[in-house]
A and B are shown apart, each in its own frame.
Chain A
Amino acid sequence: MRYLAGEYDVIVIGAGHAGCEAALAAARMGCETLLLTINLDMVAFMPCNPSIGGPAKGHVVREVDALGGEMGRNIDKTFIQMRMLNTGKGPAVHALRAQADKFDYQHVMKKTIEETPHLTLRQGMAEELIVEDGKCVGIVTKTGAEYRSRTTVVTTGTYLRGKIIMGELMYESGPNNQQPSVKLSASLKEHGLELVRFKTGTPPRVHKDTIDFSKTEIQPGDDHPKFFSHETETSNNEQLPCWLTYTSEATHKIINDNLHRAPMFSGAIEGTGPRYCPSIEDKIVRFADKPKHQIFLEPEGKNTSEFYVQGLSTSMPEDVQLGILRSIPGLEKVEMMRNGYAIEYDAVVPTQLWPSLETKVIDSLFTAGQINGTSGYEEAAGQGIMAGINAARKVQGKKPIILGRSEGYIGVMIDDLVTKGTNDPYRLLTSRAEYRLLLRHDNADLRLTPIGYEIGLISEERYNKFLSKKEMVEMDIERLRNIKVKPDQVNEMLIAAGTAPMVNGTDALSLLRRPEVTYAMLETVVPSTPEMTEEMKEQVEIQIKYAGYIEKQLHQVERLNKMEKKRIPDDIEYNDINGLASEAKQKLALVRPLSLGQASRVAGVTPADISILLVYLEHYNRVTAARGSSYG
């Protein structure tokens, strides 16, 4: 029996990592928001690895935090290990990664959601969109509850027509044997969205007490952990180590002997899997000459004996999985607590979205996360917060916020998705960013806090703190520029650091430009003011040391921005543009880029096409201007 259950500004379907961010952002921006989930116990659940962060992904968490999102704060409260990766490389690729207590992570997030004003968390399975005049105005749940809304965000993850596959076994299911969402898929299709079938997978979990850790290498966390959120200052979390082992010859033999039972090769799996996250059987077939593969054993939490076996994602039959596990040094007597599996699900072809993450065919309907063809909690959160922000802004009659490729990894990801689409589940990599040096882990707040403040997700207090940090960094750079250093003050230190001694005096700033000289070294000669925090000092050092490279990239960005600013009108008819290659016409009509810059990134569009488009736009603008003046 269908009944009117409520009216909201924003409805978010799904409470995974995208849904939580979307709902929190919308509610905090003052919108009455409903967050629906199939199972209330699955809020912010981590169906795969119990970790957050790493290169590019960790950057996204910092960006989500700078915009006023929750993921950074939540992991800072619930981590059981924190490591800064890539510390031997440049500052742009330093990347924080946390192991999460996956249960704590869920509970803390759920509590935050429950306590947020304007936000209603409700168990229910959305099955149908209500679309009137091409506009999504609400949804209907399995139990007949009709919720009306002004905007709707769909974040269904891997639940949409989910199907678990393991050896010969196959059944309809969401992740971790949850109920799948079957009917919503048909509703999306009915209203004109094109769907594709993607696949992902997860490894088995094993019992801690059956692991022989003596045969593995310990991987501890950092002694002085850093944090994801710019708000977190300290933590008392106790850290747990991870453990490293390797596959053996026996592992490879078991897999090869049982390949005929692998759904990957028997043809049972129709969905496209992620290239960067292949199953162990896939790795062994594709990289046959590699004698062994790394396996990390990661605790899933403080109050559980379950261990995640990273590197062993598989959809082999259960008996083979056990054989594989026990062929690995340290796991000879291991007990498997849950088996690994592959899961197939429906995703939306992301070129059907505007850069705001609103769908082109259904007004007021937004999608975010895995449904958009991505993979990863952080990618989901990054899209989730943007979809939530833009759904709220649409309600408030404001223009969408679209991050540029030079502003954040979130901008890179969304631009890639809506402009180029993706053929397999999309993962962020730092190499996807052309301005990697600008999109650093350390400057996420400098890049995005002003935007977070402007849209109302960053408090006045935090913003002021941010401003004063920014000012102090700038002042300290000025200070170093104006301090003269004499050779006899530093030469001994310079020689010790393996760099050439100075002949004449120079300013401290120039000295810091040398690769071998650190801020800490400089401080022994020209100490900074006591208010300078470690974070600020790091900022000063990076901005000075890499100034040349940073400036070069800024210059490129400036040029890019000129292309990004050339807007393409909504009513453009690519078919009428004489001279455009037919492939370009077709692709441009499909993607409908908002700017010339975006158009230039559409696959199949050549520089000649862009030239022609540019000429056409100029022509168009002059005609429009002429018309305007004759009517006026």
Chain B
Amino acid sequence: MIHDTIAAISTAVGEGGIAIIRVSGPDAIEGVDRIFRSRISLKDAQTHTVHYGHIVEPATNEPVEEVLVTLMRGPRSFTAEDVVEINAHGGVIAVKKVLDIVLQLDGFRTAEPGEFTKRAFLNGRIDLMQAEAVIDLIRSKSDRAFSVARKQAEGVLSKRIKSLRQTVIELLAHIEVNIDYPEHDVEEMTSAYIRDQCGSAIEEIDRLLKTANEGKILREGIVTAIVGRPNVGKSSLMNMLTQENKAIVTDIPGTTRDVIEQFVSLNGIPLRLLDTAGIRETNDVVERIGVERSRNALEDADLILFLLNNNEPLQAEDRELLDQLKERPVITVINKTDLPRQLEIEVVERAVPAHSIVPMSVLAEEGLDRLEQAISEMFFEGQLESHDLTYVSNVRHISLLKRARQSLADAIEASNMGIPIDVIQIDARSAWESLGEILGDEAGDSLIDQIFSQFCLGK
């Protein structure tokens, strides 16, 4: 545990400003290097240097956030270990997302309360006088964390995680009995059983993770970009949405990008509207900066409203956008339905069959209900869940759930490949351990207990 690599947001979390994610430990440099795209590899970089680049989603290599990364090799760092600090600019959501990616790295985990300080002490960076203070810090914070965990343990979430764990432990007990009591008359372990058990656990994790998304959306709004070539009615739609909700409109100055965000509620669906300057190739330097920002904003968006003009045939620019947005979460809005139709809707439908298409007229203030319905379907499967649903909100929980999911997926894959069950057990067990970490449970003897309560064994 003292030789893991740990990470945490080490600045106060708030809107705007710069947030720093501090990573410390033996794998810090190599690990972050795997998710950092830059001109230079961190492994080759000199100590005490700053590097510009992007944090990318490791699976897709998609950039997630523009960052500055500071590199400090041990022992010349705060903890005397290798330390990487990621300076992110994008506000709460972006920072959490980066942390999320960091925590998915193999051998990385969230720092415990006071852990950076503790390591600094253990590695001789802090003087003796501070030892007591470090202890107090660990005690008080972990006690607080404990009481929070206890509160959560009584909640709905922990019940669901417990039952999820039960599914996994039953599988484990089954595997173990097969191994330790090979002649016992329990049904032979089949790969179908492993697949079923892991599969249903994965489904449940997905449901929980979805609440994580819904929870985030409810708290932070669906980040929405309105996109289209000039004069299709972007500003009108924006105005319509904001004017409708004048009472709750707030201007939140964006962080470093100066994209203006407006927070609106469309009949209970919270939208965070990004005002994009328009996507267009341009030679004008000033405008180019604006466009560049828009592109970045587009990449962050949870929802893209793509506007087309009902009254005009498809333009080259429309087609290009259509093509760019193929893989994105898009609702195509066909505006100006009050005017005669000249748009080739069939072409649009063929080009982006996965997108929902909403005809509306901003001028006639018509079709807003259809848009609302489409958004609701896209994000809440048609119904906005009631408020008392328990959400997985904690970054640590999310990363542990994802880790458990990965282990279960590995188990299924191994099973399909014909790998023996005692090896598959390793994956299943690590899923069980990840889930246990959410609850703060120790693995301990509970597996042994399960084996003996589930199966009748003896000589």
Chain A interface (Cβ < 8 Å from any Cβ of B): 48-49, 54-56, 85-86, 88-93, 95, 203, 275-280, 282-283, 286-287, 290, 293-294, 296, 310-311, 313, 420, 429-432, 436-437, 515-516, 546, 549, 552-553, 559, 562-563, 578-579, 600, 603, 606-608, 610-612, 614-616, 618-619, 622-623
A-B CB proximity, top 8 nearest: A90-B420, A608-B142, A579-B135, A287-B456, A90-B422, A431-B176, A85-B182, A275-B452
Q: Which residues of B have CB within 8 Å of A276?
A: 452, 457-458
Residues of the B chain whose Cβ atoms lie less than 8 Å from the Cβ of A607: 1, 112, 142
* The stretch of B115-123, B277-285, B333-341 that contacts the partner chain: B115-123
Contact present for B423 and A310 (CB under 8 Å): no
Tell me whether B182 and A95 are in contact (CB under 8 A): yes
By the criterion CB–CB under 8 Å, are B423 and A615 in contact?
no
Q: Is B156 in the interface zone, CB < 8 Å from A?
A: no
When distances are taken between beta carbons in the complex, the residues of chain A under 8 Å from B459 are 48-49, 203, 277, 310-311, 313
Instruction: Give Cα A283–Cα B184 distance, bound, in whole angstroms.
Output: 14
Instruction: Check A618 against B184 for contact (C-beta < 8 Å).
Output: no
Query: Is B451 at the interface (CB under 8 A from chain A)?
Result: yes
Using Cβ atoms and an 8 Å threshold, which residues of chain A touch B139?
Answer: 579, 608, 612
A607 to B118, CA, bound (A): 13
- Tell me which of B112, B182, B447 contacts A86 (CB under 8 A): B182
Asked if A619 and B131 make an inter-chain contact with CB atoms under 8 angstroms apart, the answer reads yes
0 or 1 for each of B409-447: is its CB under 8 Å from A? (1 = yes): 000000001111111011000000000000000001101
Whether A549 contacts B128 in the complex (CB less than 8 A), given A311-B458, A608-B138, A618-B121, comes out as no
**Do A431 and B447 form a contact, CB below 8 Å, given A283-B458, A515-B419, A614-B122?**
yes
Taking CB as reference atom, which chain A residue is nearest B450? A431
Give the chain A neighbours of B423 by CB distance below 8 A: 90, 92, 437, 546, 549
> Which residues from chain A contact B185 at a C-beta distance below 8 Å?
294
Contact with A along B176-198 (1 / 0, CB 8 A): 10111111110000000000000
Does B316 sit at the interface, judged by CB under 8 A?
no
Other than the given A55-B180, A431-B451, 15 more pairs (CB < 8 A) read A88-B420, A90-B422, A90-B423, A279-B458, A283-B458, A310-B459, A311-B459, A431-B180, A436-B422, A563-B1, A579-B139, A608-B138, A611-B118, A612-B139, A622-B128
**With A429-B176, A431-B451 given, is the CB distance from A294 to B184 under 8 Å?**
yes
Q: What are 18 A-to-B residue pairs whose CB atoms are below 8 Å?
A: A54-B182, A89-B178, A89-B421, A92-B422, A95-B182, A278-B458, A282-B458, A290-B456, A429-B451, A563-B2, A607-B1, A612-B139, A614-B118, A614-B122, A615-B118, A615-B138, A619-B128, A623-B128
> For the complex, what is the distance from the CA of A275 to the CA of B448, rounded to whole Å?
10
Instruction: Report the separation of the CA atoms of residues A294 and B128 in the bound assembly, to the nearest whole angstrom.
Output: 64
**B3 on interface, CB distance cutoff 8 Å:** yes
Check: B136 CB closer than 8 A to any chain A CB: yes
Q: Contact: A579 with B182, CB < 8 Å?
A: no
Q: Which of B1-58 contact A (CB under 8 A)?
A: 1-4
A615 contacts B134, CB within 8 Å? yes
B132 within 8 A of A: yes
**Are B176 and A612 within 8 A (Cβ)?**
no
Chain B residue numbers with a CB within 8 Å of A286 are 456
Q: Is the interface of B mostly helix, strand, loop or mixed?
A: helix
| Assembly CA distance A606 to B141 (angstroms) | 13
Docked-complex contact B422 and A606, CB < 8 angstroms:
no
Given B2, B138, B417, B420, which contacts A612 in the complex, CB threshold below 8 Å? B138
Question: Contacts A311-B458, A563-B2; is A578 near B135 (CB within 8 Å)?
Answer: yes
B212 to chain A, nearest CB (A): 25
Residues of the A chain whose Cβ atoms lie less than 8 Å from the Cβ of B4:
559
- Enumerate chain B residues within 8 angstroms of A92, measured Cβ to Cβ: 422-423
Contact of A429 with B448 at beta-carbon distance under 8 Å, contacts A562-B3, A607-B1, A608-B142 already known: yes
**CB-CB nearest in chain A for B442:** A603
Question: Which of B172, B176, B445 meets A430, CB within 8 Å?
Answer: B176
* Cα A562 to Cα B122 with chains together (Å): 14
Residues of B within 8 A of A287 (CB): 456
- A554 → chain B, closest Cβ, in Å? 13
Contact of B135 among A49, A437, A612 (CB under 8 A): A612
Q: In the assembly, what is the distance between CA of A518 and CA of B447, in Å?
A: 33
Which of A91, A277, A552 contacts B458, CB < 8 Å?
Answer: A277
Provide the bound-state CA to CA distance between A611 and B451, in Å.
32
Look across to chain B and name the residue whose beta carbon is closest to the beta carbon of A610.
B1
In the assembled complex, the CB of A238 is this many whole angstroms from the nearest CB of chain B, namely 22
CA of A612 to CA of B122, assembled, Å: 11
Interface pair B112/A89, CB less than 8 Å apart: no
Q: How far is the CA of A610 from the CA of B136 in the complex (A)?
A: 14
Contact B112 A432 (CB under 8 A): no
Residues of B within 8 A of A623 (CB): 128
A622 and B122 CA atoms in complex are apart in Å by: 10
Q: Please, how many angstroms separate the alpha-carbon atoms of A86 and B423 in the complex? A: 13
CA distance A253 to B96 in the complex (A): 63
Docked CA distance A89–B174 (Å): 14
- Of the candidates A279, A430, A578, A616, which one forms a contact with B179 in the assembled complex, judged by CB atoms under 8 Å apart? A430
Question: Which one of B418, B422, B451 has the greatest number of beta carbons of chain A within 10 Å?
Answer: B422
Alpha-carbon distance A57/B393, docked complex (angstroms): 46
Q: How far is the CA of A86 from the CA of B178 in the complex (A)?
A: 8
List A contacts of B132 (CB < 8 A): 578
Contact between A89 and B131, CB atoms less than 8 A apart: no
* Chain A residue with Cβ nearest B445: A420
Tell me the nearest residue of chain B to A514, going by C-beta: B417
Instruction: Please tell me if the beta carbons of A283 and B118 are within 8 angstroms of each other in the complex.
Output: no
Residues of A within 8 A of B452 (CB): 275-276
The answer on a CB contact under 8 Å between A611 and B456 is: no
A349 to chain B, nearest CB (A): 17
> A446–B142 Cα gap in the complex (Å)?
43
**Nearest B residue to A605 by beta-carbon distance?**
B442
* B112 interface neighbour in A95, A552, A608, Cβ under 8 Å: A608
Q: Are A600 and B458 in contact (CB under 8 A)?
A: no
CA distance A614 to B1 in the complex (A): 11
How close is B452's CB to chain A, nearest CB, in angstroms?
4
Instruction: Give complex CA distance A85, B180 in Å.
Output: 10
Bound state CA distance, A92 and B425, in angstroms? 12
Q: How close is A354's CB to chain B, nearest CB, in angstroms?
A: 22
The minimal Cβ–Cβ distance linking B177 to chain A, given in whole angstroms, is: 9
Query: Are A618 and B122 neighbours in the complex by a CB distance under 8 Å?
Result: yes
CA distance A172 to B221 in the complex (A): 76
If A310-B459, A608-B142 touch, does A615 touch B135 (CB 8 Å cutoff)? yes
B184 contacts A429, C-beta separation under 8 Å: no
Which residues of A are found within 8 Å of B184, using beta-carbon distances?
A: 294
Given known A283-B456, A431-B176, contact A516–B418 (CB-CB < 8 A): yes
Instruction: State whether A615 touches B121 (Cβ < 8 A).
Output: yes
Q: A430-B176, A615-B122 are in contact. Are A549 and B135 (CB under 8 A)?
A: no
Chain B residues with Cβ under 8 A from A88's Cβ?
A: 420
Please report the C-alpha to C-alpha distance between residue A606 and residue B180 in the assembled complex, in whole angstroms. Answer: 30
Q: Given A283-B458, A562-B2, A86 and B179 touching (CB < 8 A)?
A: yes
CA distance A311 to B457 in the complex (A): 9
A209 shortest CB reach to chain B, Å: 24
Query: Bound complex: CA of A246 vs CA of B115, how far in Å?
Result: 58
Q: Please indicate the chain A residues that have their CB under 8 angstroms from the CB of B444 in the complex.
A: 603
On whether the beta carbons of B422 and A515 are closer than 8 Å, the reply is no
A339 CB to closest chain B CB, in angstroms? Answer: 16
Bound Cα distance from A283 to B423, whole angstroms: 30
**A276 and B453 alpha carbons, distance in the complex (Å):** 10
Residues B138 and A90 in contact, CB atoms below 8 Å apart: no
Which residues from chain A contact B421 at a C-beta distance below 8 Å?
Answer: 89-90
CA–CA, A88 to B188, complex, Å?
A: 11
